[in-house]
Amino acid sequence: MECSSEDSSDNTQKPDSNNNNNNQRVYFVPHRWWKDAQDAMPVDLDKKKGIVYASSPGSSYGPMKIINNIFSSDLVFNLQREEESRNILENGEVGVSGRDFALVSGDMWLQALKWHSDSKNATKDDKGFSATDTDMGDVYPLQLRLSVQRETNSFEVRISKKDNTVELYKRACKLFSVDSEMLRILDYSGHITLLFSDGENHVPTDFQRQSDQENLLELQVYGLSDSMRCREGKKDSGSASMKMNGTADCTRASSLTFCLGPGEAGSLGLTGLQNLGNTCFMNSSLQCLTHTPKLVDYFLEDYSREINSDNPLGMNGEIASAFGDLLRKLWAPGASPVAPRMFKSKLARFAPQFSGFNQHDSQELLAFLLDGLHEDLNRVKCKPYVEAKDGDGRPDEEVADEYWNYHLARNDSVIVDVCQGQYKSTLVCPVCRKVSVTFDPFMYLSLPLPSTTMRTMTLTVVSNTCDGMSQLSPYTISVPKHGKFEDLTRALSTACSLGPDEALLVAEVYNNRIIRFLEDPADSLSLIRDADKLVAYRFPKDNVDTPLVVFINQRMEEQYIYGKLAPNWKAFGIPVVASLCNIVNGSDLRNLYLKWFHPLQDLIEETLESCVVSERTEEVAEIEGVADSGSDTIVNGLDTPSDGEMEFYITDDKGTVKNSKILMNEPLTVNGGLNPLHVLVCWSEKQIKKYDTQLSSSLPEVCKSSFLAKRPQEPVSLYKCLETFLQEEPLGPEDMWYCPGCKNHRQASKKLDLWRLPEILVIHLKRFQYSRFMKNKLETLVDFPVDNLDLSSYITHGNQKSYHYTLYAISNHFGSMGGGHYTAFVHHGGDQWYDFDDSRVYPISKEKIKSSAAYVLFYRRVSEVLTERRE
């Protein structure tokens, strides 16, 4: 919080004022740290005396305050001037104990920091001494609310979760706890003391007045973090370098030496990471990477010579340096939990999407970090221009090596050496059948869960022949989510046992009318929504080329329109689709239609005789004053059929009544062509009571999301996920491929094959689903191998010694899509696994590492493991 001081005529001490933004801050530091520097400062700077404030429970810890704290989650205590609180102090001398702290201005903090810093850590600029990034990484803000209690010459201090992150609030509770031991604060800056001055003009601007009694102050806490204490503890011995699986008692690198006692090497690397506020996603990925054998050995040695600070695609080497420094802290002997503030600040600088304290995806962070480390450590200083060529019938081995050499010519780093593999990509144009083969590098494999690649669809199959009764049968099938319509018809044909002499005609029904026929086998299934209703009409293949007739059912309903009761024709039931075979006149058409419905009693003949054959054809007039009341209501000029009648009219595909009524005894003229004949059938109430029209009154939706959400998900093998990833599938409509053969964008089919596998294989399980309307997390349990992942049967080209891998780390996500928590399981030493839950690290049994929370799996090649064990 920036602040500035105002002129005052009294003698109250005020903070120094200059143009330096850092000087306008109030720093909260250990008093011993400040006192040591102050004693060594020049005499003119040593004149400032601190005003002592001691903590006292007082009324702030009365019964009412305790109740309020339970519900408000606020830490509340009193600060009282030393003169008024000497009677409750056991030691009246201002000391430098661990519970004594100092408030200093930014200028004073820099002066003390300069004294404590040596020549290696200090940097000079035109303005003089400035803090290093490491120093600023040990500073964190803390918001306090101060209320002046003038009658007791004290403050009430309130620290709330509303003003601070959860992690910072927890630190504040430990830092300012007054239950067991009193703390004292010495104000050298004069900011707190100003609050006792009379008049509002004396309130400094770094205080944001929330009310007449309460002021908000931001402190910059320095020198009280775990990373600070860890660094100070290693000041004499420097940073560390050792082999991850080494057994030497003392190993040396260019920057430092670690000498390990008996059994001490077994605890190396078992160091947690503090949660800075929703940074568990970052901690999880970092723990997995900092326990990757090749990377540990690399960053514990002198990696600085390979930093490429001139790479325009890199981060000036800062990401690599921050990661290397963090890894060394985690692998230091006897290290306490590390606060990765410096790494977090670098991450936020180069990847703003990870700034702040919101929850993020550990895999997205991992992808950015691997790419950032690669570019910062890329040994290629000047990348040559290379143009990849298509295979064009050449041997795959030749094309693959060519692509790989092109890749290495521009990319050469420890990440490429350890983590990058190569897969073969084959695209086939659905029109000209052009085949394109390329070989692309990969850093990790993102495997879909089988349930995410398949889609469950429900359709109603109608059996409708020229001489048989019709039946409705719903079928639920599974089709590829990005499949084509031919996949649907193939699966549905199998489900309904379609005969070799039969065919299916699929239509979409909306408001009891057919709005389209799905006939193009190349159409994408993404065009079918979950809320759509589909009907598949079953026909003999001999009748495929026969003209079709579509019957739209209507019944008379009365409803109030503009305050008057008016008749309206309304569509109901499923449209009837039949072949116009041997249909001569209107009577034949009526008989064909009535075969669709099952009579409630044996009155078919009586029904046929009761149908009045009308000899007249009349113009259809619109009912005056009656408007269309909705998309599912048809208003027309038909007379209401008398009891027992069923009338047939020629209409269009939308059910709008035309000018002609079909006469039973007159020939029926059917125009040739592909368009079906649409007939409107008007039912009387007497006919509706005679026939079972409820059978066709409703259709199931393609997919009921609520039903699918409740289905239990069965465990799936990791091999099944890999097979799903490698199977051929059509590209989505948004990923159209430009075919060089037909010179157009096509929805080609794509097939991936593994060609070259890396030493470290990272497998990402795609648990999170995103769409325009919903977000979802799949809790499917993936059964993954721990000791022997055998990929020999999935590799296309046998060019390696071993295709066996062993698991050494897992990034887990527990909870739902909207929240949750990330942890890491890491194999460390012998056959022991450890659970890294932010700052907490504890053993976990091997049997418990498999769970539905497994999100990212880290494997290393078995041959490497065996070699290290022999060493």
Summarised one tens digit per residue, pLDDT across range 553-602 is: 888 777 777 777 777 788 888 888 888 877 778 888 888 888 777 654 44
The residue ranking higher by pLDDT, 740 or 321, is 321
pLDDT over 60 at 123, yes or no: no
CB atoms within 10 A of CB 735: 12
pLDDT over 60 at 38, yes or no: yes
Query: 91 falls in which pLDDT band (50, 70, 90)?
Result: very low
The residue ranking higher by pLDDT, 430 or 118, is 430
Q: Are strands 250-252 and 139-149 parallel, antiparallel or unpaired?
A: unpaired
CB atoms within 10 A of CB 180: 6
**Average confidence score pLDDT of the chain:** 75
Q: Which of 4-8, 23-27, 598-602, 713-717 has the lowest mean pLDDT?
A: 4-8
Cα–Cα dist 853/778, whole Å? 10
Q: What percent of the chain has pLDDT over 70?
A: 71
Cα–Cα dist 463/470, whole Å? 5
Residue 792 CA, distance from chain mean position: 32
Judging by beta carbons within 10 Å of its beta carbon (0-12, 13-18, 19+), is residue 87 exposed, middle or buried?
Answer: exposed
DSSP-based three-state secondary structure for 365: helix
Annotated catalytic residue, options 116, 202, 797, 821: 821
Q: Residue 109: left if φ>0, alpha if ψ -120 to 50, beta else—which one? A: alpha
Query: 621 falls in which pLDDT band (50, 70, 90)?
Result: very low
Total-model pTM? 0.54
Return all residues near 735 (Cβ < 8 A) that are at least 6 apart.
none
CB atoms within 10 A of CB 502: 18
Establish whether 280 is a catalytic residue: yes
Which residue's entry shows tokens 């990477």? 289
Q: Residue 223: left if φ>0, alpha if ψ -120 to 50, beta else—which one? A: left
Max mean pLDDT among 221-235, 464-478, 622-636, 667-681 falls in 667-681
Query: 85 falls in which pLDDT band (50, 70, 90)?
Result: very low
Summarised one tens digit per residue, pLDDT across range 669-694 is: 766 555 788 888 888 877 777 776 55
Mean pLDDT of 496-510: 88
Cα–Cα dist 791/725, whole Å? 14
Summarised one tens digit per residue, pLDDT across range 688-742 is: 777 765 555 577 777 765 444 445 467 889 999 999 899 888 887 778 889 888 8
Establish whether 291 is a catalytic residue: no
Summarised one tens digit per residue, pLDDT across range 390-433 is: 767 788 888 999 999 999 999 999 999 999 999 999 999 988 98
The residue ranking higher by pLDDT, 807 or 803, is 807
Q: What is the pLDDT of residue 301?
A: 87
Query: 473 falls in which pLDDT band (50, 70, 90)?
Result: confident
Annotated catalytic residue, options 3, 230, 280, 721: 280
DSSP per-residue codes, 715-777: PEEHHHHHHHHHS-EEPPGGG-EEETTTTEEE--EEEEEEEE--SEEEEEEE-EEE-SS-EEE
Q: What is the pLDDT of residue 225?
A: 57
- Residue length of the chain: 871
Mean pLDDT of 5-26: 45
Mean pLDDT of 436-451: 89
Q: Which structure tokens are listed for 251?
A: 């190993």
Q: What is the pLDDT of residue 422?
A: 93
Q: What is the pLDDT of residue 291?
A: 94
Mean pLDDT of 294-301: 91
Instruction: Tell me how many helices (H) and strands (E) the chain has.
Output: 22, 43
Query: 346 falls in which pLDDT band (50, 70, 90)?
Result: very high
DSSP per-residue codes, 580-632: -SS--BHHHHHHHHHTTS-BSSS-HHHHHHHS-------PPPPPTT----STT
pLDDT over 60 at 1, yes or no: no
Cα–Cα dist 741/760, whole Å? 38
Of 165, 498, 476, 169, give the one whose Cα is nearest residue 344.
165
Q: What percent of the chain has pLDDT over 90?
A: 23
pLDDT over 90 at 367, yes or no: yes
Residue 594 CA, distance from chain mean position: 55
Q: What is the pLDDT of residue 608?
A: 42
| Cα dihedral 23→25→28→29 (10° resolution) | -20
Query: 822 falls in which pLDDT band (50, 70, 90)?
Result: very high
Q: What is the pLDDT of residue 544?
A: 67
Q: Residue 644: left if φ>0, alpha if ψ -120 to 50, beta else—which one? A: left
Max mean pLDDT among 176-190, 302-316, 473-487, 793-807 falls in 302-316
Q: What is the pLDDT of residue 681?
A: 86
For residue 188, which phi and psi values (nearest 5 degrees)? -90, -15
Q: Residue 573: left if φ>0, alpha if ψ -120 to 50, beta else—which one? A: left
pLDDT over 50 at 58, yes or no: no
Q: What is the pLDDT of residue 222?
A: 86
pLDDT over 50 at 339, yes or no: yes
Contact 220, 25 (CB under 8 A): yes
Contact 365, 282 (CB under 8 A): yes
Q: What is the pLDDT of residue 244?
A: 47
Q: What is the pLDDT of residue 197?
A: 63
Which residue's entry shows tokens 């790494």? 343
Mean pLDDT of 54-62: 53
The residue ranking higher by pLDDT, 581 or 855, is 855
Q: Which of 442-456, 497-511, 631-645, 704-718 has the lowest mean pLDDT?
A: 631-645
Q: What is the pLDDT of residue 540?
A: 83
Residue 559 CA, distance from chain mean position: 50
pLDDT over 90 at 22, yes or no: no
Please provide the distance, in angstroms rounded to a whole number, between the alpha carbons at the two ends of the chain: 55
Q: What is the pLDDT of residue 145?
A: 87
Cα–Cα dist 632/572, whole Å? 9
